[in-house]
Structure 1
Amino acid sequence: MALPPLSEIPPTVASVDDYEGLARERLDAGSWAYLTAGAGDESTVAENRSGFARWQLRTRVLRNLSGGSTAIDLFGTRLAAPILLAPVAFQKLAHPDGELAAAVAASALQAGMVVSTQASVAIEDIAAAASTPLWFQLYIQHDRDFTRALVARAEAAGYAAIVVTVDAPTSGRRDAEQRAGFAFPPGIEAVNLRGLAPPPRAAADALLLGTPLLDAAPRWEDLAWLRTLTRLPILVKGIMDGDDARRAVAAGIDGIIVSNHGGRTLDSQPATIAALPEIVAAVGGQVPVLVDGGIRSGTDIFKTLALGARAVLVGRPFVYGLAAAGAVGVAHVLRILRAELEVAMALTGCPTLAAIDTDALRRCS
Structure 2
Amino acid sequence: MMSGNIYPRTTFLAQLEKSAGQKLSEFAWTYLSYPGAEGQTCRDNCEALQRYRLIPRNLRDVNIRDTSVTVLGSKLDFPVAIAPTSFHKFAHPEAELATAKGAAIMNTLMVLSSWSHHPLEQVADAAPRGVRWFYMLFYRDRGWMKRVLERAEQAGYTAIVLTADQPLFPLNFNERDVAFPVQFSLPNIWLDDVTHGPPGSPEFDAFLKKVVKQAATWEDVEWVKNNTRLPVVLKGILSVDDAKIAVNMGVSGVYVSNHGGRQQDGVPATIDVLPDIVAAVGGKAEVYLDGGVRTGTDVLKALALGARCVFIGRPALWGLAMNGAEGVQQVLQFLKDELSLAMARAGCAKISDIQPSLVVHESYYLHRQLFNHTGKVNNKILTSKY
TM-score > 0.5 by shorter chain: yes
Letter in 2 for 1:31: A
Paired amino acid for 1:81: F
C-alpha spacing 1:143/1:215, structure 2 compared with 1 (3 Å): closer
Map 1:15-54 to 2 at 5 A: 15-54=12-51
Change (3 A) 1:174 1:359: farther
SS in structure 2 of the partner of residue 267 of structure 1: coil
Of the three residues 153, 168, 171, the one matched with 1:170 is: 168
> Which residue number corresponds to residue 323 of structure 1?
321
Secondary structure of residue in 1 paired with 2:188: helix
RMSD: 2.3
Q: 2:188 aligns with which of 189, 192, 197?
A: 192
The offset of 1:180, in angstroms, is 4.2
Match of 2:89 in 1: 92
Q: Give 1:1-20 correspondences, 5 Å limit.
A: 15-20=12-17
2:297 alignment partner in structure 1:
299
Give the superposition deviation at 1:311. 0.3
- Given residue 191 of structure 1, which amino acid in structure 2 is its aligned partner? P
Name the CA distance, whole Å, in 2 between partners of 1:216 and 1:105. Answer: 33
Alignment of 1:268 with 2:261, yes or no, is: no
Query: Match for residue 253 of structure 1?
Result: 251
Q: Match for 2:276: what amino acid?
A: E
Contact 1:72 1:80 in 2 (8 A): yes
Equivalent residue, structure 1, for 2:178? 181
Q: Tell me, which stretches of 5 or more residues in structure 2 are unaligned?
A: 1-9, 197-208, 364-386
1:280 to 272, 278, 281: 278
* Residue 354 of structure 1: how far off its partner (Å): 0.5
Deviation, 1:297, is: 1.0
The higher relative CO (CA closer than 8 Å, separation ≥ 6) is in 1
- 4+ residue stretches of structure 1 with deviation over 2 A? 171-175, 177-182, 195-198, 211-217
Q: What SS class does the counterpart of residue 166 from structure 2 fall into?
A: coil
Instruction: Quote the residue 1:71 is aligned against.
Output: 68
Query: In the alignment, which residue of structure 2 is the partner of 1:239?
Result: 237
- Aligned partners of 2:282, 2:247: CA distance in 1, in Å? 10
Shift of 1:40: 1.0
SS at 1:317's partner residue? helix
Q: Is the contact between residue 289 and residue 309 of structure 1 (CA under 8 Å) also seen in structure 2? A: yes
Given that residues 63 and 344 in structure 2 are in contact (C-alpha distance below 8 angstroms), is that contact kept between their aligned partners in structure 1?
no
Q: Which structure has the larger Rg over C-alpha atoms?
A: 2
Closer/same/farther in 2, CA of residues 60 and 216 from structure 1, 3 Å limit? closer
Q: Counterpart of 1:34 in 2: which secondary structure?
A: helix
Q: 1:123 aligns with which of 113, 120, 126?
A: 120
Q: TM-score, normalised by structure 1?
A: 0.88
Q: Distance in 1 between matches of 2:278 and 2:304?
A: 11
Question: Alpha-carbon deviation of 1:172?
Answer: 7.9
> Are 2:141 and 2:211, in contact at CA under 8 Å, matched by a contact in 1?
no
CA distance in 1, matches of 2:225, 2:304: 31
Deviates more, 1:326-335 or 1:177-186: 177-186
Alpha-carbon offset, residue 191 of structure 1:
1.9
Q: Deviations over 1:131-180 (max 9, x none)?
A: 211001111123322121111111010001111111101158668x7444
Return the offset for 1:67: 4.8
1:7-62 per-residue CA deviation (whole Å, 9 max, x = no partner) reads xxxxxx95222210111112111111111102211111111111101101123221
SS of structure 2 residue aligned to 1:69: coil
Is 2:169–2:214's contact at 8 Å kept on the other side of the alignment? no
For structure 1, the 5+ residue unaligned runs are 1-12, 199-210
SS in 1 for 2:35: coil
Q: Secondary structure of 1:21's match?
A: helix
Q: Deviation per CA, 1:287-316, whole angstroms, max 9, x where unpaired? A: 110001111111111110000000011000
Amino acid in structure 2 at the alignment position of 1:102 = T
TM-score w.r.t. the length of structure 2 is 0.84
* Conserved 8 A contact 1:165-1:236: yes
Q: Is the 8 A contact 2:289 2:307 kept in 1?
A: yes
Q: In the alignment, what sits opposite 2:228?
A: 230
1: CA distance, partners of 2:55 / 2:110: 31
